[in-house]
Structure 1
């Protein structure tokens, strides 16, 4: 089986609304203004509702409620707005299915995203793009679990040895794994190449193209996330479990001090979106 067969067998291919795709292009255009972006956001009632909810949440709430998209956009700022539009579009593209905890999936994805943002800030990489890559890093698994149950069963059987060898086992059994499926979906969605690369090379970051730091950041974030889950949070034991060449140049003391507050805030962000 190859990836083309997987996509051919999908019961339905999730899609990102055209408004969201247009918005992502607009965000990448240096001549775009918050006012023009707000006008386009208003075309999508689902994204508009989520933006208003976030702007009026405890995290961003001002002295008065935001009642218009333009006002909410000004309050959230360009980078947060870009992140929210992409995250809203992606989370809204998938529907819940039996025997798969969609909410838990997104909460874990947002945890990886929050860690990736902190790591990006340490290394001088665009933190919001790193966050978006973190949100999307595992959409290959989500696509298969929700759209191709027969393939999901084969991948799940290949992955039972644990997370550390999961991608290698998937590739050994099927010739590809969730990262490749996710990268192909990102390509079909016409997402930026940096996001496609981050998804595709997350399990083999040292093989990523030169001058592509995001695969390594996502790989680091996944390892940290697994350590947090295994050791009950940002504990000394969790930090001790995070080591090796992958983390060369990372200030783990600073990272683990920042994690609790940041992850709590991003969990609230995820709850608003899912």
Structure 2
């Protein structure tokens, strides 16, 4: 099988609403204003409802309730709004078999995203773009589940306690490609920025990323931390001790682990509201 056949086997490509695609382009335009973005959001009632709900959640709510998209946009700010629009569009794009734990999938994705945001802030990168890359990092796995459920079942039973890199390698051995390549191709077909495509494609091989792009490295770091949290029951001393090596040069791991409990709690609530 090749990636083209995988996409061809889909009855229809999971799609981001046109309003969301327009908004993604608008976010990349330096002349865009919050007012014009809010007007576009109002065109999609599903995304608009999610934005209002999130603006009035405990995480973002101020002293009064937001009653309009424009007010919500002002409260959230440009970067957070960009993240919410893309995340809400992506999480709504897939319909899977009822036996697949879609909510658990997104909770894990948002955990990686929250860690990526924290690392990006430490290292001077755009934290919201890093968060978006985290949300999207294993979107290819979801597409494999959707397009090739018979193969996905075999792969899932064999994955066991494999690391992300090991799972991708096993998929490549069985299918000829892994979820990073599938996710990057989906991001390309969705016309997402090239830096997001590259972050997804090279998450397990960050040193091979074009032009030494930093986001694949941030994703690799975040995924490894997430796996340590899962293996050691949270942000424990044991999880911290399991993380070391040159991959983390430039990252203050002690500072990261001090911040993780609050980050994970906030992003878990965020993911539950969004999905």
User: If the TM-score is normalised by the length of the shorter chain, which range does it land in?
Assistant: over 0.9
In the TM superposition, structure 1's runs of 4+ consecutive aligned residues that sit over 2 Å from their partners are: 153-161
C-alpha displacement at 1:143, in angstroms? 1.0
Structure 1 residues 254, 118: CA separation in 2 closer, same or farther (over 3 Å shift)?
same
User: Retained in 2: the 8 A contact 1:96–1:102?
Assistant: yes
Are 1:167 and 2:161 matched, yes or no?
no
CA distance in 2: counterparts of 1:10 and 1:167, whole angstroms: 21
Structure 2 unaligned regions, length at least 5: none
How do 1:1-274 residues align onto structure 2 when only pairs under 5 Å count? 1-156=1-156, 159-160=159-160, 162-163=162-163, 164-274=165-275
TM-score (norm 1): 0.97
User: Retained in 2: the 8 A contact 1:183–1:199?
Assistant: yes
CA distance in 2: counterparts of 1:30 and 1:108, whole angstroms: 32
C-alpha displacement at 1:35, in angstroms? 0.4
User: Retained in 2: the 8 A contact 1:155–1:177?
Assistant: no
C-alpha displacement at 1:248, in angstroms? 1.6
C-alpha displacement at 1:157, in angstroms? 5.3
Once the two structures are superposed, residues 185-243 of structure 1 have per-residue CA deviations (whole angstroms, 9 ceiling, x without a partner) of 11111111011001100111111112410111001100000100111111110011111
Indicate the larger mover: 13-22 or 208-217. 208-217
C-alpha displacement at 1:83, in angstroms? 0.3
C-alpha displacement at 1:155, in angstroms? 3.5
Structure 1 unaligned regions, length at least 5: none
C-alpha displacement at 1:154, in angstroms? 4.5
RMSD value, Cα: 1.3
Report the secondary structure of 1:6's partner residue.
Answer: helix
C-alpha displacement at 1:171, in angstroms? 1.6
TM-score (norm 2): 0.96
CA distance in 2: counterparts of 1:179 and 1:158, whole angstroms: 18
CA distance in 2: counterparts of 1:189 and 1:209, whole angstroms: 20
Structure 1 residues 158, 176: CA separation in 2 closer, same or farther (over 3 Å shift)?
farther
CA distance in 1: counterparts of 2:161 and 2:118, whole angstroms: 29
Structure 1 residues 154, 27: CA separation in 2 closer, same or farther (over 3 Å shift)?
same
User: Retained in 1: the 8 A contact 2:7–2:147?
Assistant: no
CA distance in 2: counterparts of 1:59 and 1:113, whole angstroms: 16
CA distance in 2: counterparts of 1:230 and 1:155, whole angstroms: 21
CA distance in 2: counterparts of 1:160 and 1:60, whole angstroms: 38
Indicate the larger mover: 66-75 or 156-165. 156-165
Once the two structures are superposed, residues 49-103 of structure 1 have per-residue CA deviations (whole angstroms, 9 ceiling, x without a partner) of 0110011111111221111000000001111100000000000101242220000
CA distance in 2: counterparts of 1:32 and 1:240, whole angstroms: 45
